[in-house]
Amino acid sequence: MTTRRVFLKKAAITTAGLGLVPAFSASMAGCAPSDRINVGLIGCNGMGFSDLREFLQHPEVECLALCDIDESVLNKRATDVEKIRGSKPANLYKDWRKLIDNKDINLVIVGTPDHWHCLQMVAACEAGKDVYCEKPIGRTIEECNIMIRAAKKYKSVVQVGQWQRSDPHWLDAVDFLRSGKLGKIRLVRVYSYQGWNSSIPVLPDEATPAGVDYDMWLGPAPSRPFNRNRFHFTFRWFWDYAGGLMTDWGVHLLDFALYGMNVTTPKSVMAMGGKYGYPGDACETPDSLQVIYEFDGFNVMWDHAIGIDDGGYGRNAVLGFVGENGTLVVDRSGWEVKPEVVNKVKRMEAVPWQNGKDLGLKNHVKDHLDCIKSRNFNTKASPEIAGHIAKFSAVGNIAYRTGKKLIWDGTRFANDDEANKYLTPEYREPWVLPKV
């Protein structure tokens, strides 16, 4: 198989033979054409652009194209790229398929809402491109399965934006956990309390803003009139597009609950929650939710809320591995161990707070670039890793929506046909769930 480097080298020779002079930005100085990675970003408004900004810290990366259904966002981000690199991207698209068709692009960043991830990642892989896909990798169980198969079939190097997998202090915490010093782990408590993230008021439908292709924004989701609540950041509170805090933060935090305990499939799952804090707001997903995942010998407990910050251990988004000898507490700022004290006797020594260095996204992007160059498919957050935790989080939501205790075998629910109806999404025509 022709490698990307050989292909680009041949292309450069062909270009020279035709008498064409390729354009280079100042940022590419000293970077051989064979080492260049040309990037296109789909979905420029939020985390997608944060990802692109980090990629552009590497001189071998060039942004060739941006795509967004909102012209105001598209133009703003083109200007932002110019501020970073001295020139705007050569191609601005409102239709993501045109970006995929651009044969000069090697790497596609998918920064769109969750309901778009499957179609766009699979199309990019099919076109022979590598992909950085925002989390969660897929919205539903079957989408995750399809995306895993696509990366393997088309030999794409894919990284998913679960950058805690590349943040050193999280890995240090897992190393301590696996040392056995905590003794037997009885419970993993996982909290996501987001006080900054309050509810959204009910708003009337309205005309689509100028410059917005709202039908393309909806894509495979059901057709609905334009409503600002369903657009941009707050899309995540509607089942048509995402899964609320359970999938938004769950894929980060629950990932380390499973990784730390070295487990995959729970024996059962049950959930309780609702719109307790804001019963009259516009959100569909619960503002308060507790999910219990049962494993052999321990449980994982998920607890989330929006509008309040009273999570566990005095922190808002945090894990606690509760052992016989002590509890390991870890969040994005660092980790510590709190000893168990019984009858005034400490069962182990405390580990004082170990500060993190906020290197997650930086290291995650570097890992992806290194893997692209070496054609190493085992990125820090590969489709297999990301697909597993996206499905794990989705299972929690399905337990909530059915109101039942579910037996999950890793593929489907063994005890409930109603729950299995949530596994595969229905796409709005003309969009079709990919077959891989």
Q: What pTM does this model have?
A: 0.91
Residue 277 lies in a domain: yes
Pair (188, 275) in one structural domain: yes
Do 95 and 177 lie in one domain? The reply is: no
On whether the CB atoms of residues 124 and 156 are closer than 8 A, the answer is yes
Instruction: Locate 206 and state its tokens.
Output: 């309205």
CATH code at 280? 3.30.360.10
Domain tally, the chain: 2
Quick check: 263 and 295 in contact, CB under 8 A?
A: yes
Residues 46 and 161 reside in one and the same domain: yes
How many Cα atoms within 13 Å fall on the side-chain side of residue 213? Answer: 13
Instruction: For residues 35 and 65, state if they share a domain.
Output: yes
Rounded Cα–Cα distance for residues 83 and 223 (Å): 37
Statement to judge: residues 261 and 410 lie in one domain: yes
Look up the CATH number of the domain holding residue 373. 3.40.50.720
For residue 146, being part of any structural domain is answered with: yes
Q: What SS3 class is residue 147?
A: helix
Whether 270 and 349 map to the same domain: the answer is yes
Residue 64: give the domain boundaries.
24-165+364-383
Domain contains 184:
yes
Q: Answer yes or no: is 280 within a domain.
A: yes
Gap between the Cα atoms of 317 and 254, Å rounded: 11
Maximum distance among all alpha carbons in the chain?
84
Counting Cβ atoms within 10 Å, is residue 20 exposed (0-12), middle (13-18) or buried (19+)?
A: exposed
> CA torsion 145→148→149→155, rounded to 10°?
170
Q: Is residue 311 part of a domain?
A: yes
Compute the CA torsion angle 41, 223, 135, 84 (nearest 10 deg).
30
Q: Is residue 112 part of a domain?
A: yes
Asked if 111 and 44 count as a contact pair (C-beta separation under 8 A), the reply is yes
Question: CA of 98: how far to CAs of 75, 102, 105, 401, 430, in Å?
Answer: 17, 6, 11, 37, 17
268 closest CA partner among 414, 403, 422, 423:
414
pLDDT tens for the 436 residues of the chain, in order: 333 333 333 333 333 333 333 333 444 444 555 689 999 999 999 999 999 999 999 999 999 999 999 999 999 999 999 999 999 999 999 999 999 999 999 999 999 999 999 999 999 999 999 999 999 999 999 999 999 999 999 999 999 999 999 999 999 999 999 999 999 999 999 999 999 988 999 999 999 999 999 999 999 999 999 999 999 999 999 999 999 999 999 999 999 999 999 999 999 999 999 999 999 999 999 999 999 999 999 999 999 999 999 899 999 999 999 999 999 999 999 999 999 999 999 999 999 999 999 999 999 999 999 999 999 999 999 999 999 999 999 999 999 999 999 999 999 999 999 999 999 999 999 999 999 9
Q: Are residues 152 and 238 in the same domain?
A: no
Same domain, 121 and 236: no
Same domain as 157, residue 60: yes
Same domain, 368 and 309: no
Q: Is residue 409 part of a domain?
A: yes
Domain-embedded: residue 8: no
Say yes or no: 302 and 369 in one domain.
no
The verdict on 99 and 86 lying in the same domain is yes
